[in-house]
A and B are shown apart, each in its own frame.
Chain A
Amino acid sequence: MSRIAVNLPGLHMKNPVMPASGCFAFGQEYGKLYDLNRLGAICVKAVTVEERRGNPTPRVAETPGGMLNAIGLQNPGLKHVLEHELPWLEKYDTPIVVNIAGYSVEDYMEVAREISKVHNVSAIELNISCPNVKEGGITFGTDAGTAAHLTDKVKSVSDVPVYVKLSPNVTDIVEIATAVEGAGADGLSMINTLLGMRIDLKTGKPILANRTGGLSGAAIKPVAIRMIHDVRQKVDIPIIGMGGIYEVDDILEFMMAGANAVAVGTANFIDPFVCPNLIDQLEDRMDELGIETLSSIVGRSSL
């Protein structure tokens, strides 16, 4: 096995880097720029039963080292994804993770049941943490009991491993993480965006039409590192770490905090080639730091 390969439930990754859900659509745009087989895995945008139109624009605002987004889970719906988006990805031999969302437990179950049957889907990422929709999403992710119940139900219908994507907008993320682990989650994905707001000085009104949005980018990295570190102390299942990864050192820092693989989000918008570039730099940086294999550093901060 290569020294940068990582193995997670359902995900045999040639390297630990995948694009984060919502930042990569269904792969076609970045597939024009480079060979997606370079990636450790591909995590596609959230899928819901019905098509969703998302929030009004403006949907993005900026802050030093970060951006706020309020897309609102816009997606073409389950049927379209099954017929058009996932078949397009068949030409790649890298694992596909599909992020799923819904208004109700039944919605989530329906999407999980259908998506997990698709032969080129390796895992599901259960989105209980989108801060930009009024119903569904985050309402499932802020209470341990509700999150565990949903995880259990989705696990009962899914043919592939389920990674639960956690929200940082909670008092105690460790409580939620342990609850979904207890309910059978195969892994965790953390963190989703932090709820924020920016105001336009000319109008005195929020810049985002949705008023609030999710903060991502370098600004949130220390929050993500702290939360992954805390969760790693209490949870044994694998963690896909994300939140402000821009540089190769960030990957190593997330893994030392306790992540088994990582996802890159906002950085794709700054440099569309960031994922393959980080993968290219990884082994040289490991050599400089005397790291033999990536698996040897996971959770080192806890030791």
Chain B
Amino acid sequence: MATFDLNDDSVVCIIGSGAGGGTLGNELAQKGIKVVILEAGGRYEIPDFVNDEWASFGQLAWKGMRTTSGTWRVAHDFPNLPAWIVKAVGGSTVHWAGASLRFQPHEFKARSTYGAIAGANLADWPITLAEMEPWYAKAEDKMGTTGTNGIPRLPGNNNYKVLEAGARKLGYKEVHTGNMSINSQPRDGRGACQQIGFCFQGCKSGGKWSTLYTEIPKGEATGNLEVRPNAMALHIEHNAQGKVTGVVYVDAAGKQQRQKARVVAVAGNSLESPRLLLNSQSAKYPQGLANSSGQVGRNYMRHTTGSVYAVFDRPVHMYRGTTMAGIVRDEARNDPKRGFVGGYELETLSIGLPFMAAFLDPGAWGRSFTSAIDGYANMAGLWIVGEDMPREQNRVTLDPKVKDANGMPVASVHFDDHANDEKMRNHAYRQGAAIYDAVGAVRSFPTPPYPSTHNLGTNRMSANARDGVVNKWGQTHDIKNLFVSDGSQFTSGAACNPTLTIVALSIRQADAIAGMMGRKEI
């Protein structure tokens, strides 16, 4: 395994090791480019994972202080936990459920498709689906996505069978066990899914793709990649010409270090990436790095989510097997006749008893609540993943008062649901309940959104430097050798889980960075 000198200014320094950073690191290393990944969290391997929701949360989740404001219910229920994401090597690919969906063509063209929506800051991506298709194909091959590359889909578990039966009774057509980056058969040196459940707690079989045990060790094997865990980036430095020169971080021993770099790529998820750029303000860049547009931190999206759990008169045991075990895609289309633009997916979801108690209806107590929990064994559940509207005032800022242990201002997250989001969520709640009613549910629960797992848009891509932070390569408009490599690049959220698109963008970005380095442009 390589180690690079702190003063080696020929390296690409990537902040974050998840779907964006971990993939970019490996792709660059495979091309012979030297890479240092700074990862804020520790390194936990498969044997370290625990099938225990709270214990795993303690091990893997980003638990550092954050603050919230706005009318979203998360700010009330979980004021200091706006997001449920991972702080560990592998980032949120340790915790993700594996759903790997491509955008629909119109979802890259949100502004031209949906038009001007009041209170929304819609824009088109500077790229199209046609342009992304070859990169999606590479990502699906890399991740072993079921339903692509001749890979069979996973078998459906109990939770899926309930969803499928209800959805078919309702007349839904596109219902299947999903395009999942979970091995349905051994592939790429990893075994097949054992239907363990606990996908959110780190996959104990390694059947689910995660950069932790795919991209990162492959990159390390080249001798071109060093991953430094417990390395919390504080700010990015630049020279008099305005080009970035390195990253100051706090190491595992609590000591400040400076890694010099030829190129810096930020991939800390959509809360931490803008936080880092904003915290890197200087005399030359008083509003933070790459922020001449004022868009860093803005247009925060988190998908229009929510869950529907339903209780039946007989057992389901939804927690057995994959957490996200199947999907209904019929509502993902854009059909403004429903009263909203954009669409949503319905995907099965299950959580264990401890998290069900915490998330079913936060704050509730008494028999209405406990009788629902009493039905746990007879419960089925689904999650809504809908496109939400980017809004300028939905944003990540540096908290003016609260600082972390290193003295760095924490991320403050403001979010107000757009009327379109609320109409979509209510439509999805009704359709979700109808699916379960169709197969005999005795009671259903429109469960509010959890702390956000899909955090998007806070350093968005734009054709014009006025409207966003990065160009079509994820390169910041303002600083040629500074890149963004995570979901914060997203111009729109689309009605699908974001990881596949993040990975596809990273593979594509690695090609672009290698080309620019080869041509001495950066």
Q: Do A and B bind each other?
A: no
A residues apposed to B, CB below 8 Å: none
